[in-house]
Amino acid sequence: MGVMEEERQCSSLRAGADMIPLRLVAKSSGPLKILCIGAHSDDIEIGCGGAILRLAEEYPGCEFYWAVFNAVGVREAEARRAAGLFAGSRLKGPILKGFEDGFMPWAGTEVKAVFENELKPVAPDLIFTHNGQDAHQDHRLLNQLTWNTFRNHLIFEYEIPKYDGDLGRPSVFVPLRRELCDAKVVHLMDAFGSQRSKHWFEPGTFLSLMRLRGMECASDSGYAEAFYCRKLVL
């Protein structure tokens, strides 16, 4: 297939992008409650920061509940600041814990207690959490405990690009305007100074994954975030 033919196929796909959007409706009479769960202080923002910015725009009355399990020292301050940058005045909490990076599966009893005692009472309408195929053991544990704790909830599992290479084939796409992608990246680079020395923590990593997922859902802007959803009830 030549380049021109590929471009024609791409443009015709976008012109015919008729997949109807689904809207979120809170099940209670109160505000839409969104619970964001992350193992480390930048996971939520990398995995679903764009979706959070878009939800905040589209559901002005929504509330973001925020839980980070490894937020220690400078990373606690970074987590607190980043949560404010993304969720703004809609932020509840955040709940910041000091579990050791890489060791959460061996502190499972205490981690599960946080879910039972502090997250379950939130009664969220939508949950963002790590995906079950993630290569990081802390991420996988939080995914399992999310499903243990929330038995009849809408759960979107986000992806974190990493050296180990564990990207898969997500099924839920959230198209994002380019301005929201740029805001996400600016917030990430601004809030997580302690991570900037990591070879992968740079705008190109985050923008390229959003560009790839945008291509896969024929996003008008070309950009999107993507999630895994095991169960969806219409």
List interacting residues with Zn ion (CB under 5 A). 39-40, 43
Identify which of residues 144 and 221 has a Cβ nearer to Zn ion in the complex: 144
Identify which of residues 54 and 140 has a Cβ nearer to Zn ion in the complex: 140
Task: Please check whether residue 52 is in contact with residue 23, taking contact to mean a CB–CB distance below 8 angstroms.
Answer: no
Q: Which two tokens stand for residue 150?
A: 């929330």
CB of 205 to Zn ion, least distance (A): 14
Identify which of residues 63 and 134 has a Cβ nearer to Zn ion in the complex: 134
Phi and psi of 175, rounded to 5°? -60, 145
CB of 47 to Zn ion, least distance (A): 9
End-to-end CA gap in the chain? 39
> From CA 67, how far away is CA 98, in angstroms rounded?
11
Task: Please check whether residue 145 is in contact with residue 118, taking contact to mean a CB–CB distance below 8 angstroms.
Answer: no
CB of 201 to Zn ion, least distance (A): 12
> From CA 159, how far away is CA 197, in angstroms rounded?
21
Identify which of residues 47 and 214 has a Cβ nearer to Zn ion in the complex: 47
> From CA 203, how far away is CA 37, in angstroms rounded?
23
Identify which of residues 39 and 91 has a Cβ nearer to Zn ion in the complex: 39
Q: Which residue is nearest to Zn ion (CB)?
A: 40
Identify which of residues 40 and 54 has a Cβ nearer to Zn ion in the complex: 40
Identify which of residues 39 and 218 has a Cβ nearer to Zn ion in the complex: 39
CB of 160 to Zn ion, least distance (A): 6
Other Cβ atoms less than 10 A from the Cβ of 105: the count is 12
CB of 43 to Zn ion, least distance (A): 4
CB of 118 to Zn ion, least distance (A): 19
CB of 11 to Zn ion, least distance (A): 37
